[in-house]
Structure 1
Amino acid sequence: NDIAVAIAHVLRCSEAKVLYIDFDAHHGDGVQRAFYDEPRVMTVSLHETGRYLFPGTGDVLELGNGLGRGYSVNLPLAPFTEDDSYIEVMNVLLPPLVMSFAPDVIISQHGCDTHAWDPLTHLELTTRSIQAQVRCAHQLAHTYCHGRWVALGGGGYDQFRVVPRVWSMLWADMSGQALPEQLPEQWVERWHPAWEAVKEQEVLEQELAGKTSFFADFPTTFEDQADHFSPQPRRWSISLENRRTAAMLRQILVPSPIRKVFSMAQRQSPLTDLYDLLHPGGAHAEQSEVFETHKESILLRNFCPPSLVERLSADSGLHAFARLPEREHQLLVDIARSPDCALTLAHTSAGAIVGEVTLTFGDDWWEGLEDIYEVTIEVSSNWRKLGIARKLLAFALELETLDDMILFAMGLSWHWDLEGMGITPRHYRKMITQLFASQGFSEYETTEPNISLEPANVLLVRIGKRVDQYVANRFLRRISSSPRLTGL
């Protein structure tokens, strides 16, 4: 496996972290297996579900093992997925994953057997999706990896009509060249007869795969023409299935603050502004308080505006969500700009952010419930065991209007800094349970899929004293009736 060898070489010769993205229609099982317990490698595979296609693997619950838990990501797509659905789920999943993992280099595999004309698979993509793959990988590499990107070919079994065009697009994008609209005449004249010789067999193979190609001729342009592809009659249900799978993966693998920044377009908070909701009558909200530690005095500030956050910087030990302090800082700026988020910070007199609490509207998983907000907290590894977490959480949640809301916190063990804290998952669970209990949170048994994945995971909830009983009952029914993950 050339890709696994290349990744192993990077790991052996440097301390770099590698993100591997597999766009092939078949699950990237070989690379996943090679690095299944390696936390320095994140493998992401977007593929047709293994229910109907070799190798039959690539379930969402294949999350990694040991220290590599949470670094194996699989997005199994429904058969006959088309461009719009594919591009949607790719764009809502990849950017937040990359920001959270913070790789040093991206290696991508661009198998083009996802194309609608490929005889071996059941996806219905055109060159529009395949170009979107390339541009997405390219942009992520420049945004997060200083342009360090290795792209390779992969599967593709329509060797005349698809493979040459797609890999030309890949090279053109990487090298910054513009492709002409038309394919070179000499190339068409050479290879069109070769395709005609196997045309009947290719069309038969597609029909056997359940794909009735609307266009059975040789293309003369680099990009596919929309009228060459018949619409999929199950488009809506296929898109819904893919969207739910992507939402599930985001909930499991992407920390809540990053999910808020990279929100799914279909979900909008009914609130116009969380600030106004928590401060009825236009009362002045921003508060500050000094907290004394034996290191130095810390300033606590709530409802921090983006102008303030931009002037501050992240302490070197603040990296739980975005992995790198500078990216953590940008994440906090983006959170401060969101009207559906409330950001409370602890910072030094020199402007170093050493702790943060976010209060954010419950996202996709809690759709349909009212007044549900998620609480997350992080304290810099350089400022722990000073009482900052307890004081900061109390300061962030002291507003009386929070008694009108249901607040919850999800403790997911694959996000915990067990190595940095030097404790076991059981002890970490006990620590955060006690921390939130100090603010009236209680542990709730739940069948919520993410909590159910690991025994150490925990759901902590505080139901405000003024929450309507009907609203509370709906919430309690939801957490006790969420279907367990049994695989896709």
Structure 2
Amino acid sequence: MQHIKTYNQCIKHIKERTIIIEGPIEAKDLSTYRMESSLTAFRQPAEQLEALIDIAGLEEGRIIIARTDDLIIGYVTFLYPDPLERWSYKNLDYLLELGAIEVAYHFRGYQIGKELLNVSMSDGYMENYIIITTEYYWHWDLKNSGLDVFEYKNLMQRLMQSARFEVFQTNDPEITSHPANSLMARIGMQITRHQMQQFDEIRFMNRFFL
């Protein structure tokens, strides 16, 4: 499958700063930026920037960022699922995973997450994919948000629904291990019935045959 990527951009003005939301960003451009210090949900900022650069270098990888000047204050990633997870079973070339979405603490509440998703889906080629996101409560910033796990779950689901993601059932043991976890997916307009059947088989496959 050929992975066609079309650059898109939008501009917001927050706290007297100009915020540029853009992508997909190439690895060489990402290497000229730096990460805001509170972007620590998955790794330390410098390590996460290296991870973003690596993903941007993948054939299927897509990185959308929000930045002010050369400072990244938010990002969302898209890539093939981890080879060790069930979602990579059958190596479906039309199945991408929204691997991470994060916004710096001091820039939350300004719909930057929603804009990151809007810019991501402005590329019409995204309609050729099923895009999944696995929402695990242990990745959420419960401490700074002041929300409990179910309030945060509702927050994340509303955010994803703004980009046409829906909740899907699965027997994946990590998802079913806690009621706050969930699987969501965005079904591209060009996805066929056969492709959906393959996705359904993965959602409910017997874990002992992974």
Tell me which residue corresponds to 2:82: 363
Q: Which amino acid aligns with 1:428?
A: Y
Tell me which residue corresponds to 2:26: 305
Is 1:405 equivalent to 2:129 in the alignment? yes
Q: Which amino acid aligns with 2:109?
A: K
> If the length of structure 2 is used for normalisation, what is the TM-score?
0.90
- Note the C-alpha offset of 1:294: 3.7
Paired with 2:198 and 2:42, the residues of 1 have a C-alpha distance of 30
Is 1:381 equivalent to 2:105 in the alignment? yes
% identical aligned pairs = 24
Paired with 2:17 and 2:186, the residues of 1 have a C-alpha distance of 32
Paired with 2:49 and 2:127, the residues of 1 have a C-alpha distance of 30
Tell me which residue corresponds to 1:141: none
Query: Which of the two has higher C-alpha Rg?
Result: 1
The question of whether the paired residues in 2 share the 8 Å contact of 1:369 and 1:474 is answered with no
Partner SS, residue 109 of structure 2: coil
User: Pairwise mapping of residues 266-285 of structure 1 onto structure 2 (< 5 A)?
Assistant: 277-279=3-5, 285=6
The question of whether the paired residues in 2 share the 8 Å contact of 1:369 and 1:475 is answered with no
The question of whether the paired residues in 1 share the 8 Å contact of 2:19 and 2:68 is answered with yes
Paired residue for 2:41, among 304, 313, 320? 320
Listed as ranges, the gaps of 5+ residues in structure 1 are 1-270, 280-284
The question of whether the paired residues in 2 share the 8 Å contact of 1:357 and 1:378 is answered with yes
State the Cα deviation string for residues 72-113 of structure 1 (Å, max 9, x = none): xxxxxxxxxxxxxxxxxxxxxxxxxxxxxxxxxxxxxxxxxx
Tell me which residue corresponds to 1:480: 204
Residues 295 and 450 of structure 1: CA distance in aligned 2, closer, same or farther (over 3 Å): farther
The question of whether the paired residues in 2 share the 8 Å contact of 1:408 and 1:460 is answered with yes
The question of whether the paired residues in 1 share the 8 Å contact of 2:8 and 2:119 is answered with no
Partner SS, residue 31 of structure 2: helix
> If the length of structure 1 is used for normalisation, what is the TM-score?
0.40
Paired with 2:206 and 2:73, the residues of 1 have a C-alpha distance of 36
User: Pairwise mapping of residues 84-483 of structure 1 onto structure 2 (< 5 A)?
Assistant: 277-279=3-5, 285-322=6-43, 324-349=44-69, 351-364=70-83, 365-366=86-87, 367-370=89-92, 371-375=94-98, 376-483=100-207
Q: Which amino acid aligns with 1:316?
A: S
The question of whether the paired residues in 2 share the 8 Å contact of 1:345 and 1:355 is answered with yes
Tell me which residue corresponds to 1:166: none
- Note the C-alpha offset of 1:410: 0.6
State the aligned residue count.
Answer: 203
Cα RMSD over matched residues? Answer: 1.7
State the Cα deviation string for residues 326-352 of structure 1 (Å, max 9, x = none): 222222222222223111111002x11
Q: Which amino acid aligns with 2:97?
A: E
Structure (1/2) with the larger strand percentage: 2
Paired with 1:477 and 1:335, the residues of 2 have a C-alpha distance of 27
State the Cα deviation string for residues 217-244 of structure 1 (Å, max 9, x = none): xxxxxxxxxxxxxxxxxxxxxxxxxxxx
State the Cα deviation string for residues 119-174 of structure 1 (Å, max 9, x = none): xxxxxxxxxxxxxxxxxxxxxxxxxxxxxxxxxxxxxxxxxxxxxxxxxxxxxxxx
Structure (1/2) with the larger helix percentage: 1
- Note the C-alpha offset of 1:473: 1.1
